[in-house]
Amino acid sequence: MAAVAAAAVPADTRAVLAERVVKLTRDSFWKPVASVPIKFTTYHPQGMVKIGETLFVSSVEIQVRTKRLVEPLDRYDRDTGRGVGHVFKIDMTGNRLADLRLGEGSVYHPGGLDHDGEHIWVAVAEYRPNSRSIIYRIDPVTMKATEVFRFADHIGAIVHNTDDNTLHGVSWGSRRFYRWTLGSDGRVTNAHVPPEVLSTANTSHYLDYQDCKYAGARRMLCTGVTELHQSPGAPPFRLGGIDLVDLRDGRPVHQVPLLLWTAGGMDMTHNAVWIEPSAMGLRGYFMPEDDMSTLYIYDVEAK
């Protein structure tokens, strides 16, 4: 499949997107449109936003893998490893236009991306659960990042609720939800609140969210994966999916599996995903593979 021009997008994208997502079912047919080889080493992609005809993809370059500890130390089950966090700017033919490096020291794991119409939001965390994160907003034109706040947990994805000016994050494996309030000066007012006080439990155990976007009307659209093993040590079966989540109570409004895999067996929603309204219904952009990635583009009827 070759590269293809984008379909027309309605003006009120978020409302249309959410309206069409709830019409997806397990039987929805995703038609392949294009496969675009990415022309540089992408490392381990995490999140994606598309602004016009430009992609922004977060990724972690793993230099030294984390190692499990023989005995848990404090709240940690592994060491920090070593790496570099990236946000790549990419054109629709797979060329890298810019490479923004994020994080500091052991904080090098960027998560999912959200775009609020002005800034791209990303959390960069240690590569282990129950750790710590730095949350940034990025100017997509200048590719300059501004640190917004720090938090004492691994935040794997963050969205900006522009309806009530709050930020919402998910923990490692999306087992916990967080909500932060933004003041009139753009500063977070409750970043000092301990995670155990601020968190609420994710009552859905179907997916581990990898990438989330604000979907309007106090909802977020999350994509992710669950890995199932028939027996200990057996190869995993990876099932991807899409959840539309109500941010007021953290409960899914609509859940649907995405029955798409690469030729190598990787689920399409394993890592970076962008979904937008299209002339047909919805168009999905998926980058599930590491290092020598391909951008897979699919259309689905959802009207």
Task: Please report, to the nearest 10 degrees, the dihedral formed by the alpha carbons of residues 183, 189, 191, 193 taken in order.
Answer: -150
- Domain assignment present for residue 5? The answer is no
- Alpha carbon separation from 77 to 53, 72, 158, 217 (Å, rounded): 41, 5, 24, 38
pLDDT at site 303: 74
Q: Are 278 and 21 in contact (CB under 8 A)?
A: no
Q: List the chain pLDDT tens, one digit each, 303 residues.
A: 444 444 433 338 899 999 999 999 999 999 999 999 999 999 999 999 999 999 999 999 999 999 999 888 888 999 999 999 999 999 999 999 999 999 999 999 999 999 999 999 999 999 999 999 999 999 999 999 999 999 999 999 999 999 999 999 999 999 999 999 999 998 999 999 999 999 999 999 999 999 999 999 999 999 999 999 999 889 999 999 999 999 999 999 999 999 999 999 999 999 999 999 999 999 999 999 999 999 999 999 997
In this structure, is residue 23 part of a structural domain? yes
Q: Record the tokens describing residue 281, joined without a space.
A: 């219904």
- The enclosing H or E element of 198 equals helix 195-198
Closest by CA to 217, choosing from 175, 159, 153, is 159
Spatial distance between the Cα atoms of 121 and 138, rounded to a whole number of angstroms = 6
In a domain? residue 2 = no
Residue 64 lies in a domain: yes
Tell me, yes or no, whether 7 lies in a domain: no
Q: Is residue 168 in some structural domain?
A: yes
User: How many domains does the chain divide into?
Assistant: 1
* pLDDT attached to residue 111: 98
In a domain, 216, yes or no: yes
Domain CATH code at residue 224: 2.115.10
**Range of the structural domain that residue 58 is part of:** 13-301
Decide if 74 is inside a domain.
Answer: yes
